[in-house]
């Protein structure tokens, strides 16, 4: 009987205080994590917006490749190989635009490599969604723990 009273009167208060403290710590951690995720998403959005702005019209977004993202394979007629043929070279379009002078270069092929900002933005949004989805799950786990504790206390009272 005395164990039951002790469990009901003393341990119950200790457990409640402990549960309140743990809830508060978890709530602050979840809130801080959510805040950090939102700050990250805002920075990613600002960077994407800066990158996507069309240089000729800042109110318009463009996903066109930039000159430094395009590799060009060309024959340089100013530099001959051992057989006297133009040398095959590769450079970025920006490099070629910076040094172009008349008919010296004859472009034969080009390759485009870009940062796929759409994929990057979608991955960032998915990460945010996962974080937001965790909030209700965390609350549900806390609710389950509370129910288990209440059942445990009821069992203690009965014994």
Q: For the whole model, what pTM was predicted?
A: 0.39
Q: Kindly report which listed range (32-41, 102-111, 128-137) carries the lowest average pLDDT score.
A: 102-111
H or E stretch at 59: strand 57-61
In the predicted model, what is the mean pLDDT of residues 3-7? 63
User: In the 8-state DSSP scheme, what is residue 104?
Assistant: S
Alpha-carbon gap, residue 123 to 98, rounded angstroms: 35
pLDDT band at 6 (very low <50, low <70, confident <90, very high): low
In the predicted model, what is the mean pLDDT of residues 21-48? 79
Question: Which of these, 55, 61, 93, 58, lies nearest to 74 by C-alpha position?
Answer: 93
Q: What is the pLDDT of residues 111-156, one digit of tens each?
A: 666 667 777 777 877 777 777 777 666 666 666 777 776 776 677 6
Q: What are phi and psi of 84, to 5 degrees?
A: 85, 10
Q: What is the pLDDT of residues 57-67, one digit of tens each?
A: 888 888 777 78
Question: What order of strands is seen across the sheet that includes strand 105-112?
Answer: 86-92, 70-80, 105-112
């Amino acid at each position: 009987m005395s164990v039951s009273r002790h469990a009901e009167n003393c341990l119950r208060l200790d457990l409640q205080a402990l549960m309140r403290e743990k809830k508060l710590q978890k709530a602050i951690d979840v809130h801080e994590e959510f805040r950090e995720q939102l700050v990250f998403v805002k920075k990613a959005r600002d960077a994407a917006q800066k990158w996507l702005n069309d240089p000729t019209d800042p109110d318009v977004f463009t996903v066109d490749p930039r000159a430094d993202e395009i590799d060009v394979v060309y024959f340089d007629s100013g530099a001959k190989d051992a057989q006297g043929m133009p040398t095959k070279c590769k450079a970025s379009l920006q490099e070629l635009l910076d040094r172009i002078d008349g008919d010296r270069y004859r472009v034969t092929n080009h390759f485009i490599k870009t940062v796929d900002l759409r994929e990057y933005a979608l991955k960032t949004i998915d990460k945010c969604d996962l974080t937001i989805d965790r909030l209700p799950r965390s609350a549900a786990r806390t609710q389950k723990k509370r129910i288990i504790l209440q059942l445990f206390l009821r069992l203690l009272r009965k014994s």
